[in-house]
Structure 1
Amino acid sequence: MDSDTIRDNAERHRFEMTVDGHLARADYRIEDGVITLTHTIVPPALEGQGIASRLIRHALSEARARGLKVVPQCPFVAAYIRKHPEWEDLLAG
């Protein structure tokens, strides 16, 4: 069943969202109170719909709720935080 709900697949270390049968995801790793967002992957069929932004906004909200600092290793995540300074307080270091 398709859903636009974002879920944390902790076993695979990624936030996932399935839309129209396509899986978009934001990969991460967590160590020592820091979540490193490593990759954001959106299938070509879903590009241009704001899916990556929704995934990253969710990931950052989760980081804040869990008291984690963020390392935006993924260029998309780094750009998202630059465009949305309300998340800058989460940056590690």
Structure 2
Amino acid sequence: MQITSEDRGTGGRYLGHVDGVAEPAEMTFSRASPTLIIIDHTQVPDALRGKGVGQALAEHAVAEARTGGWKIIPLCPFMKAQMDRHPDWNDVRNS
């Protein structure tokens, strides 16, 4: 799987591409400030469900936050659930 990022200044998305599947998985975010993003949506196509693609997007978002020095507000139910399951991600969770 390959994850790409699209940043449009005020927001963006992470895309999870899997060979042989046309439609990528997507996690969208908005930038609340230079040091705070809001992850608001995750969409995984049926063809990619159960393959860990959503989890990979969540891990990528956390890695990007650590590298960029920002915090995450997980409004997306999927991302919120992932952050609840991973207390080791609390360093990037805005609380």
Q: TM-score, normalised by structure 2?
A: 0.88
Check if 1:8 corresponds to 2:5: yes
Q: What is the match of residue 50 of structure 2?
A: 48
1:75 is matched by which residue type in structure 2? P
- 3-state SS of 1:76 partner: helix
Instruction: Quote the offset at 1:14 in angstroms.
Output: 0.2
Instruction: Quote the offset at 1:22 in angstroms.
Output: 2.0
Q: What is the match of residue 23 of structure 1?
A: 24
- 3-state SS of 2:50 partner: coil
RMSD, aligned CA = 1.2
Which sections of structure 1, spanning at least 5 residues, go unmatched?
none
2:71 is matched by which residue type in structure 1? K
1:87 is matched by which residue type in structure 2? W
Q: TM-score, normalised by structure 1?
A: 0.90
Instruction: Quote the offset at 1:82 in angstroms.
Output: 1.0
Check if 1:65 corresponds to 2:67: yes
Hey, what's the Cα distance between the residues in 2 that align with 1:51 and 1:15? 11
Which sections of structure 2, spanning at least 5 residues, go unmatched?
none
- 3-state SS of 1:22 partner: coil
- 3-state SS of 1:70 partner: strand
2:23 is matched by which residue type in structure 1? H
Determine which of 33, 36, 50 is the counterpart of 1:34: 36
